[in-house]
Amino acid sequence: MTSRPRRAAIIGWVLAVTLSGCVPAPTSTPTTVSSPTATPADPDFTEPGAATSMVESLLAEAGSRRALMVEITKDSVQVSVLATDGKPVTWAHRDGKSAEVPSDLAYVDQATFDVSKFNISDVGGLFRAAASMAGSEEQQSLTIVDYSGGEVTMSVSTFPESRTVFFNANGALLDILNFDAPGGIASGIKEAVGLQLTVYSVTVQSDQGAWADYPGDEEGTTVRRTRTSKVPVTTNIRNESPDLPVFVSARIRPDAVWKVVDAVRGTSGVAEDAKWSVVIEDREKTGVPRMYFTIGSTSVTTDLNGAVIA
């Protein structure tokens, strides 16, 4: 006769097997362990078209067609927009899912932009171009944002930081300007002046870049737009006004600037490769701006056509 404890143990074993829905296999048969179900790999946003599609999707989630900032890496995309309350909101796709994420981005009157105006159809191509310029492809990140004073730019940076490489909206590399050559002088002055019809002064330094000073929107302020060799235009505002009259910026002739430099260098006491600078302004307040050159240790003043005055 079976004892009560043994009978209870057998009933408990039967109940356990019944509830689990399976019967233990014979000890002679190996137990099979199932592998976890493979999840689809995250998109590679350096592949053609991948980043564009995800940016559009995130903008739709965020409820805006204009972005405040876009950031793209090989395995993530992030967009920031202005919410209806005027505060930044950020959506991101990371680790296989899209969601609103915390962000420390602050809004201080940065320009918003239409992402479709920027060619991000092949982020991998942009990364390769940037690597060739920066000498690094470590943890590359593409950013589109108001870089300075309303100038929205596209750039690629690395971590650890090497050199930030800038692109035009069409995906072409930003031109590297040589300010000791006619083309660089012309491009530098054009970009520094921008859309300003009148300026206080325009300066070019052969080893630095070009900048233009003009009145700010607020009384008593001066805006300086600067273009250096490898960096797009930056804008700074000073709470001061120079004691200078403005003049029409279209009167400046970049070819005349180079003509003077080329004529003076290599003459007595001036080396062929001497550094130089020119300031174009109406410092005499005659209504006629002049060009004030320093070439090596020589000073020359000319009219806007390059004719020497003193």
| pLDDT at residue number 9 | 38
Q: 202 and 147 in one domain? A: no
pTM above 0.85, yes or no: no
Domain, as residue range, for 244:
182-302
Q: In angstroms, rounded to a whole number, what is the distance separating the alpha carbons of residues 266 and 271?
A: 5
Structure confidence by residue, pLDDT tens digits, 8-34: 333 343 333 333 333 344 444 444 433
Q: In angstroms, rounded to a whole number, what is the distance separating the alpha carbons of residues 283 and 228?
A: 25
Q: 222 and 278 in one domain? A: yes
Q: 227 and 152 in one domain? A: no
| pLDDT at residue number 29 | 42
Q: 197 and 98 in one domain? A: no
Q: 189 and 149 in one domain? A: no
| pLDDT at residue number 144 | 98
Residues 226, 196, 250, CA angle at the centre, nearest 5°?
A: 100
Q: Decide: 220 and 243 in contact? Cβ < 8 Å.
A: no
20 domain-assigned: no
Q: In angstroms, rounded to a whole number, what is the distance separating the alpha carbons of residues 136 and 201?
A: 39
Query: Nearest 5°: phi and psi at 102?
Result: -65, 150
177 domain-assigned: no
Q: Decide: 284 and 290 in contact? Cβ < 8 Å.
A: yes
172 domain-assigned: no
Structure confidence by residue, pLDDT tens digits, 152-207: 999 999 998 888 999 999 999 999 999 999 999 999 999 999 999 999 999 999 99
CA 292 to chain CA centroid, Å, is 34
The neighbouring-strand residues paired with 199 are 247
Q: Which of 132, 167, 202 is the last residue of a domain?
A: 167
Q: Decide: 171 and 119 in contact? Cβ < 8 Å.
A: yes
Distances (CA, A) of 280 to 59, 110, 120, 252, 310: 46, 31, 39, 8, 15
| pLDDT at residue number 24 | 40
Helices (H), the chain: 4-20, 50-62, 123-134, 182-193, 254-264
The neighbouring-strand residues paired with 72 are 77, 142
Secondary structure class of 115 (helix, strand, coil): helix
Q: In angstroms, rounded to a whole number, what is the distance separating the alpha carbons of residues 300 and 310?
A: 6
The tally of domains found in the chain comes to 2
Q: Hunting for tokens 């970049």 — which residue is that? A: 254
95 domain-assigned: yes
| pLDDT at residue number 162 | 82
77 domain-assigned: yes
Average pLDDT over residues 59-80: 96
Q: 190 and 148 in one domain? A: no
Q: Taking the CB of residue 171, how many other CB atoms lie within 10 A of it?
A: 16
44 domain-assigned: no
Say how many residues make up the chain. 310
Structure confidence by residue, pLDDT tens digits, 87-127: 999 999 999 999 999 988 888 889 999 999 999 999 999 99
Distances (CA, A) of 149 to 65, 71, 146, 155, 200: 22, 20, 7, 16, 19
| pLDDT at residue number 160 | 87
45 domain-assigned: no
Distances (CA, A) of 78 to 49, 61, 229: 16, 12, 30
| pLDDT at residue number 58 | 97
Q: Which of 125, 140, 167 is the last residue of a domain?
A: 167
| pLDDT at residue number 161 | 83
150 domain-assigned: yes
